[in-house]
């Protein structure tokens, strides 16, 4: 397991970057992000296929007769299907969720394999999964904070323009369209990061035999924060909301983030 630890971590990192790329493409119709995500996904498929071939050659059979091995094969099947769908059809919405679920299955396989090995490398993978969960969650909060300040500057500049006061400071605040675009971009990156962080946290709790509660305040708060920002994207992209209305919503969403980070963390029985 120790020899494979870095390979597993490399796969998860590449897979995670691919998911972020597909999500950006889905929200902004960014063909460059889609192409990058596709080739990253191909890298993961090649590595998984090599693993699968090695298991078939060494065991003279498909690795499907144990729960752990079947997880890996299931993940490989989903990944293969997603590449076929990506090549033949333009269904990016379905493609993102197929790969997200495949990522979850692969993560569950790696963590379960690590737990079963009882080696130093296996224990380290489980511990590093917790570190990745915390790091990605905080990183997503960083992007949400950046988006909040873009929206805050948007509201301030909008008020200045409306009242025609302090016009000499406008150039320091930035263009309204630019602030609106950057706020959207930051949330577009932050949402998949937080989603992956939550998945990592759930899988870690499962494999580490921790006393996990779905109704723990911090857990529920993180899911609520994710849903609040998903609603932002639905309003912004799906309903066409922009300008002051969506900036005010973004500011309110940030207040929910602060409540979750500071208050719910203190009241949580599972996280502390």
Q: What is the pLDDT of residue 2?
A: 45
Write the CB contacts of 158 (distance below 8 Å, at least 6 apart in sequence).
176, 243, 244, 247
Phi and psi angles of residue 242, each rounded to the nearest 5 degrees, phi first = -155, 180
- Nearest Cα neighbor of 254 from 242, 266, 246, 265 is 246
Q: What is the pLDDT of residue 230?
A: 95
Q: What is the pLDDT of residue 48?
A: 92
Q: Calculate the alpha carbon distances from 191 to 27, 198, 228, 232 in Å.
A: 11, 11, 10, 10
**Which tokens in the block code for residue 191?**
């949402």
Which residue in the block uniquely carries the two structure tokens 């996904």? 41
Q: In this predicted model, what pLDDT tens digit does every residue of 73-127 receive, in sequence order?
A: 999 999 999 888 877 776 666 788 888 999 999 988 888 877 665 555 555 676 7
Q: What is the pLDDT of residue 1?
A: 46
Distance CA 233, CA 230 (A): 5
Q: In this predicted model, what pLDDT tens digit does every residue of 208-243 receive, in sequence order?
A: 766 666 667 878 889 999 999 999 999 998 888 888
Instruction: Please give the residue that has the higher pLDDT: either 174 or 191.
Output: 191
The mean pLDDT value for 152-163 works out to 80
Q: What is the pLDDT of residue 218?
A: 79
Q: In this predicted model, what pLDDT tens digit does every residue of 17-63 receive, in sequence order?
A: 999 998 998 888 888 888 899 999 999 999 999 988 988 888 777 77
pTM here is 0.84
Q: What is the pLDDT of residue 44?
A: 94
Residue 153 confidence (pLDDT) above 70: yes
The torsion angle over the Cα atoms of residues 108, 110, 111 and 116, rounded to 10 degrees, is 120
Residue 165 confidence (pLDDT) above 70: no
The mean pLDDT value for 143-159 works out to 90
Q: Calculate the alpha carbon distances from 54 to 32, 174, 250 in Å.
A: 34, 55, 49
How much of the chain, in percent, has pLDDT values that exceed 70? Answer: 82
Instruction: Please give the residue that has the higher pLDDT: either 29 or 255.
Output: 255
Q: What is the pLDDT of residue 249?
A: 95
Q: In this predicted model, what pLDDT tens digit does every residue of 258-271 receive, in sequence order?
A: 998 887 666 665 55
Residue 144 confidence (pLDDT) above 70: yes
Distance CA 208, CA 234 (A): 35
């Amino acid at each position: 397991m120790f020899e494979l630890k870095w390979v597993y971590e490399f796969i998860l990192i590449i897979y995670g970057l691919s998911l972020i790329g597909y999500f950006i493409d889905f929200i902004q119709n960014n063909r460059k992000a889609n192409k990058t995500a596709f080739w990253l996904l191909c890298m993961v498929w090649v590595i998984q296929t090599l693993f699968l071939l090695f298991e078939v050659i060494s065991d003279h059979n498909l690795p499907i007769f144990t729960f752990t091995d079947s997880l890996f094969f299931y993940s490989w099947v989903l990944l293969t299907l997603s590449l076929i769908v990506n090549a033949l059809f333009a269904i990016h919405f379905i493609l993102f969720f197929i790969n997200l679920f495949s990522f979850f299955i692969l993560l569950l396989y790696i963590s379960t394999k690590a737990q079963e090995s009882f080696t130093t490398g296996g224990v380290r993978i489980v511990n590093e999964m917790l570190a990745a969960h915390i790091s990605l969650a905080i990183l997503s909060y960083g992007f949400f904070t950046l988006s909040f300040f873009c929206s805050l500057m948007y509201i301030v500049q909008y008020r200045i323009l409306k009242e025609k006061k302090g016009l000499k400071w406008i150039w320091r605040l930035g263009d309204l369209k630019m602030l609106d675009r950057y706020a959207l971009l930051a949330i577009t990156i932050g949402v998949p990061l937080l989603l992956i962080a939550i998945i990592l946290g759930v899988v870690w709790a499962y494999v580490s035999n921790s006393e996990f509660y779905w109704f723990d305040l911090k857990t529920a708060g993180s899911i609520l924060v994710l849903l609040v920002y998903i609603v932002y994207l639905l309003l912004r992209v799906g309903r066409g909301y922009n300008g002051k209305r969506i900036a005010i919503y973004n500011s309110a969403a940030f207040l929910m983030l602060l409540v979750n980070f500071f208050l719910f963390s203190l009241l949580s029985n599972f996280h502390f």
